[in-house]
Chain A
Amino acid sequence: MVVHRLEARVRTRTVLVSYWPDLDGAPGSEIKLGVFGDLRMGKRYALGLIARTTAEPEEIERVGRLAKHLVEKPFKALREKYEEIWGAPSPQDAFERVLARTHSSLILSDAQEMIDATPVADLKEDLETTRTWCMDKLRPILRGRFHAWMGAAGAAPTDQREQLAERDEPQPDLARRVAG
């Protein structure tokens, strides 16, 4: 007997957010702020953010007058961006537009993408289960990337906060993605 196992495709991405007081500066001169991440499974879309609550005084000192608010309280500043993305008619399109921005010292790295599959049986119970599942799947990925990145240069442990949300959203039209 052949047993068919139905699986859903799950795509998660994480993006590092840093601030470069000198865009031409050498790698390592950036100030690490936080990590954005998103998850797409069929029509379900989740967006997450984990970021430092504060930066060190010597980091803030290196930042230009107009951009200090971005670095002084990274989570607060990035949550504003998060809310803007999440409040858009299509959060995924809005996130793509943010990723395509250029010329700013606030740099979002190229997305690190992971695709895997999960048995549909795990998810079919009800909508709430699926929602919880999406955020429970994204949360440890975000945390893992954030802590690995922050700890990479031997940085001291840092206070951080998280924000996650999930919703039903049709697949975006990739052709409409904004490029620069």
Chain B
Amino acid sequence: MDHQEDPQCAEFRERWRSRPLYDGRIEFLGDAGGFGSSPQRVRLLPSGCIAYAKRAVNAAQTPEGAHEYLAAELAHLIGVPVPPVGFWHDTRGQHFSLSIRAFPEAVHWDEIEVSKADREALRPIFSASAVFHAWIADSDHAAHPENLVVNANYPEGQPQVAFIDHAVSLTAAWHPGDETATLPQEYYIEPDEILRESVLDTIRRIHGVSERVRESMISRVPPSLLPAAQRTTILECLRCRARELRSAFVKAPGES
């Protein structure tokens, strides 16, 4: 299931491993200059790599940038393809998350027709991502084809995909006491196509991400972009939902 990451993505992931702050120059490619609520296409200089800048904390004070960053890091740890995310601020102190473009040439899931063989090849990835999205309480990958991109140049039989936009997850979607983790509805795969082996493997990987690793990951988010109370909520969400994954996804023998 482990995928070969795009070289630019791998480079930024490595660069942001201990300190996810972009300190280079940025060129905004749209007219709005990054001040609206929509993501803005930007060019990171001098590499020329394209990324998408979005306000790190939205108007409702939801720490969307922190969600994006943590989702990208957690996904990478368990082998689910999500492009790396870092942070950047302008001279006026406005903070943005930066999501590196997934592939040099990409199309959205609903803009292409995938062969039966490639769909079959994607089953392990979608089985794993379904567990991952349930774990982080993500609600933007059910019936959201625009949040799955495909490498337009992948070799036949070896489809490459990446999940983007995890702003609506963690504290945006989960609160202590909320209902248990469930399989996302209208997902990229039908419930009966989910592979038990991939699910079990992903749950095993999730349980392998220790509390210390999660805490360390959260500590790398700049303090102003994630208040202490929300850090605690995120840890609780991940801990609580990790416990529920097995009962949500894996049926006991004989259970219909």
Binding site for B on A (CB under 8 A): 20-24, 63-67, 70, 97, 99-107, 109-110, 112, 177, 179-180
Contact A64 B153 (CB under 8 A): yes
Q: Would you call B49 an interface residue if the criterion is a C-beta within 8 Å of the partner chain's C-beta atoms? A: yes
List 7 additional contacts besides A24-B43, A103-B162; criterion CB under 8 Å.
A21-B105, A66-B107, A102-B99, A102-B165, A103-B108, A105-B152, A106-B111
Across-interface contacts of A65 in B (CB, < 8 A): 152-153, 156
Contact B39 A179 (CB under 8 A): yes
A177 → chain B closest CB, angstroms = 7
**B interface residues, how many (CB within 8 angstroms):** 39
Across-interface contacts of B152 in A (CB, < 8 A): 63-67, 105
Q: Which residue of chain B lies nearest to A111 when distances are taken between CB atoms in the complex?
A: B31
Q: Known: A70-B111, A110-B32. Is A105-B106 also a contact (CB below 8 A)?
A: yes
Bound-state CA distance A109–B101 (Å) is: 17
Across-interface contacts of A97 in B (CB, < 8 A): 146
Bound-state CA distance A112–B32 (Å) is: 10
Q: Known: A65-B153, A105-B152, A110-B30. Is A100-B105 also a contact (CB below 8 A)?
A: no
Q: Would you call B104 an interface residue if the criterion is a C-beta within 8 Å of the partner chain's C-beta atoms? A: yes
Bound-state CA distance A2–B156 (Å) is: 73
Q: List 14 A-B contacts (CB under 8 A).
A: A21-B105, A23-B106, A24-B101, A64-B153, A66-B107, A99-B38, A101-B108, A101-B146, A102-B52, A103-B149, A103-B162, A104-B149, A106-B111, A179-B58
Q: Known: A102-B165, A105-B152. Is A23-B38 also a contact (CB below 8 A)?
A: no
Residue in A20, A64, A101, A103 with the greatest tally of chain B CB atoms within 10 Å: A103
Ranked 8 nearest A-B pairs via Cβ: A64-B152, A64-B153, A180-B39, A110-B31, A67-B152, A110-B30, A102-B52, A66-B152
Bound-state CA distance A67–B105 (Å) is: 9
Q: Which residue of chain A lies nearest to B58 when distances are taken between CB atoms in the complex?
A: A179
Across-interface contacts of B154 in A (CB, < 8 A): 66
Contact B38 A100 (CB under 8 A): yes
Q: Which residue of chain A lies nearest to B83 when distances are taken between CB atoms in the complex?
A: A103
Q: Per DSSP, are chain B's interface residues mostly helix, strand or loop, or mixed?
A: loop
Contact A177 B37 (CB under 8 A): yes
Q: Would you call B13 an interface residue if the criterion is a C-beta within 8 Å of the partner chain's C-beta atoms? A: no
Contact A22 B105 (CB under 8 A): yes
Q: Per DSSP, are chain A's interface residues mostly helix, strand or loop, or mixed?
A: loop
Residue in B43, B50, B151 with the greatest tally of chain A CB atoms within 10 Å: B50
Across-interface contacts of A112 in B (CB, < 8 A): 31
Q: Would you call B230 an interface residue if the criterion is a C-beta within 8 Å of the partner chain's C-beta atoms? A: no
Bound-state CA distance A97–B48 (Å) is: 27
In chain B between 92 and 151, which residues have their CB closer than 8 angstroms to a CB of chain A? 99, 101-108, 111-112, 146, 149-151
Across-interface contacts of B156 in A (CB, < 8 A): 65
Bound-state CA distance A21–B153 (Å) is: 10
Contact B39 A66 (CB under 8 A): no
B82 → chain A closest CB, angstroms = 11
Bound-state CA distance A100–B154 (Å) is: 25
Bound-state CA distance A25–B32 (Å) is: 21
Bound-state CA distance A21–B31 (Å) is: 22
B145 → chain A closest CB, angstroms = 10
Contact A103 B104 (CB under 8 A): no
A23: contacting residue among B99, B105, B167, CB under 8 A:
B105
B225 → chain A closest CB, angstroms = 17
Contact A24 B8 (CB under 8 A): yes
Q: Would you call B241 an interface residue if the criterion is a C-beta within 8 Å of the partner chain's C-beta atoms? A: no
Q: Which residue of chain A lies nearest to B68 when distances are taken between CB atoms in the complex?
A: A180
